[in-house]
Amino acid sequence: MHHEHHHYVNGDWVDPLQPAPFDVVDPSTEEPFTQIAAGGPADVDRAVAAARAAFPAFARTTRKDRLDLLRAILSEYNKRRHEVAEALCREMGAPLQFAYERQSMSGVGHLTAMIEALESYHFEEIQGTTQIIREPIGVVGLITPWNWPINQIVCKVAPALAAGCTMVLKPSVNAPLDAIVWSEAMHAAGVPKGVYNMVQGLGGVVGAAMSAHPDIDMMSFTGSTRAGILVAQAAAVTVKRVAQELGGKSANILLPDVDFQAAVSKGVLGMMANSGQSCSAPTRMFVPANRHEEVKAIAHAAAESLVVGDVRDEHTDLGPVASRAQFDKIQRLIKVGIDEGAELVTGGPGRPGYLNRGYFVRPTVFAGVRNDMTIARQEIFGPVICILPYRDEAEAIQMANDTIYGLAAYVQSADLGHACRVAAEMRAGTVNINYPPIDRPAPFGGYKQSGNGREYGKWGLDDYTEIKALVGYKGA
């Protein structure tokens, strides 16, 4: 990787037109270790022009052409996975083993799922005397986050390519290096000039210019609800499509018949993976009031079992959170939880006592939480879980749905039929029953202020197409 000071435009690594060097900070040390060349609106204009020029030819490519391209990208990406993991470890603090086995592996999963989806995708169908055609929407702008950076890059780029779109990617300035490795792999795979472009930069500068750009036909954004609103507002002027995957405050309902030792432990450990920086993490654990004390003890033991520290040590479970801003936000909300009367079971303010630098957060469990408390309402985005007691199933469902978010929910029960009936009541885009394995082709996206549109597999491909009806079609 040698392109920190460049953008990738029209098949070449180019110097920025409006250079604005930006420090990349290692969250384990709090020290900058490199710089990227953040750009400006002129850099966006150049990249969009390249994508616009490349669109007519790429939109005419065949299914086979695109499948061959995706397979070539998968091959090149697999050669670079260790570099991707190394970048993620350094730039956003993921433990190296986790970065390789989970973070970088997600790219393989999404590419594989998209290849499978494209092989059987219906771009054309007949409805009576009308032919219905799905065509690529055009030039798309992609804005990706810092918490699962390569996951979100691949789950946007792959369907855009599969649909026949051209694109401009803006990765997070807090996690820009994995995007450089990805772009190098794209180049090595032979992506045609102008089809894929990448401009580094701040959301308020590069992201804003992309969102308002008249030659971008669609924006796909993953990030906070606050930033998503700004993207949608800027995009509204040109009436472009906006697909958004935003914040979450996911409920995890443990029904009375569940194995509490297993369900609570898995819920705590799963929620705190990636240092709690997952938008779909089960951050609100709803438990029967008469099992509250038992749940507290199990959650305490699970959180205390986590090793926080050196991201290169294979025994480390949690690294730092990604930035000073995120660390400060989490510390503020932990204090608010204590001030509002939630019971601090373990963890709390500050770093673990054996660490004197880095954005490390103590795995924190709050119990006796009410659903009107700040820590139950706001997305904390750190290793902080809230335990909320409920009186009966109806109250659990009501409280679980009483949120502005609706990205994911979780239901645990020994009776699968019962769990499914409760899952059907959840106002969320994904409901996970009894901690299932990852299903990459399943649609992913949210209700309410968690966004709109769906990603992954066929559903992601749908979002990058326009629908045309040829009425009175008589056949070939």
Q: What is the CATH number of the domain that holds 136?
A: 3.40.605.10
Q: Are residues 76 and 153 in the same domain?
A: yes
Domain of residue 300: give its range: 251-440
DSSP 283-342: -EEEEEGGGHHHHHHHHHHHHHT--BS-TTSTT--B---S-HHHHHHHHHHHHHHHHTT-
91 given a catalytic annotation: no
Kindly state whether residue 338 falls inside one of the protein's structural domains: yes
| Residues 459, 465 contacting (CB under 8 angstroms) | no
- Inter-axis angle of helices 63-79 and 105-120, to 10 degrees? 170
| Residues 299, 271 contacting (CB under 8 angstroms) | no
Q: Are residues 400 and 434 in the same domain?
A: yes
Kindly state whether residue 463 falls inside one of the protein's structural domains: yes
Q: Are residues 290 and 417 in the same domain?
A: yes
Residue 7 and residue 184: Cα distance in Å, rounded?
11
Number of alpha carbons in the 13 Å side-chain half-sphere of residue 441:
9
Number of alpha carbons in the 13 Å side-chain half-sphere of residue 217:
18
User: What's 386's domain CATH number?
Assistant: 3.40.309.10
Kindly state whether residue 416 falls inside one of the protein's structural domains: yes
Torsions phi, psi of 134, nearest 5? -105, 120
Residue with tokens 């056949």, as numbered in its chain: 475
The SS3 assignment for 404 reads coil
Q: Is the pLDDT of residue 152 over 90?
A: yes
Beta strands in 418-464, from DSSP E residues, in sequence order: 430-433, 447-448, 451-452
Beta strands in 74-121, from DSSP E residues, in sequence order: none
Number of independent structural domains in the chain: 2
Residue 173 and residue 323: Cα distance in Å, rounded?
11
Residue 163 and residue 155: Cα distance in Å, rounded?
13
Q: Is the pLDDT of residue 438 over 70?
A: yes
pLDDT (0 to 100) of residue 325: 97
With 0.95 as the threshold, say if the pTM is over it: yes
> Could you report the per-residue pLDDT of 304-341, keeping only the tens digit for each?
999 999 999 999 999 999 999 999 999 999 999 999 99
Q: Other C-beta atoms within 10 Å of 16: how many?
A: 22
Structure tokens of 293?
């004390």
* Pick from 192, 207, 230, 214: nearest CA to 144: 207
Kindly state whether residue 445 falls inside one of the protein's structural domains: no
Catalytic residue among 76, 83, 245, 379: 245
Kindly state whether residue 235 falls inside one of the protein's structural domains: yes
CA-only gyration radius of the chain, Å: 23
pLDDT (0 to 100) of residue 233: 97
Residue 440 and residue 115: Cα distance in Å, rounded?
12
Q: Are residues 24 and 90 in the same domain?
A: yes
Kindly state whether residue 2 falls inside one of the protein's structural domains: no
pLDDT (0 to 100) of residue 266: 98
pLDDT (0 to 100) of residue 279: 96
pLDDT (0 to 100) of residue 329: 98
245 given a catalytic annotation: yes
Q: Are residues 276 and 373 in the same domain?
A: yes
Residue 362 and residue 421: Cα distance in Å, rounded?
36
Sequence-separated contacts (24+) of 22-26 with Cβ below 8 Å = 22/173, 22/200, 22/201, 22/202, 24/91, 24/173, 24/174, 24/176, 24/177, 25/174, 25/323, 25/324, 26/90, 26/91, 26/93
pLDDT (0 to 100) of residue 346: 98
Q: Are residues 235 and 190 in the same domain?
A: yes
Q: Other C-beta atoms within 10 Å of 25: how many?
A: 21
Q: Other C-beta atoms within 10 Å of 269: how many?
A: 15
Q: Is the pLDDT of residue 294 over 90?
A: yes
Q: Is the pLDDT of residue 475 over 90?
A: no
Q: Are residues 454 and 424 in the same domain?
A: no
pLDDT (0 to 100) of residue 1: 63
Degrees to nearest 5, angle at CA 428 with 277 and 220: 65
The residues, ordered by sequence, that sit 6+ positions from 213 with a Cβ below 8 Å of its Cβ are: 44, 45, 48, 141, 238
Q: Which residues pair with 466 in a beta bridge?
A: 135
Structure tokens of 443?
């649609």
pLDDT (0 to 100) of residue 140: 98
Q: Is the pLDDT of residue 476 over 90?
A: no
- Given pLDDT bands bounded at 50, 70 and 90, which one contains residue 474? confident
Q: Are residues 23 and 106 in the same domain?
A: yes
Q: Are residues 223 and 255 in the same domain?
A: no
Q: Are residues 94 and 127 in the same domain?
A: yes
Residue 467 and residue 166: Cα distance in Å, rounded?
17
Kindly state whether residue 1 falls inside one of the protein's structural domains: no
- Given pLDDT bands bounded at 50, 70 and 90, which one contains residue 2? confident
Catalytic residue among 279, 379, 386, 455: 279
Q: Are residues 181 and 155 in the same domain?
A: yes
Percent above pLDDT 70 for the chain? 100
Kindly state whether residue 466 falls inside one of the protein's structural domains: yes
Percent above pLDDT 90 for the chain? 99
3-state helix, strand, coil in the chain (%, to 5): 40, 20, 35
Q: Are residues 403 and 383 in the same domain?
A: yes
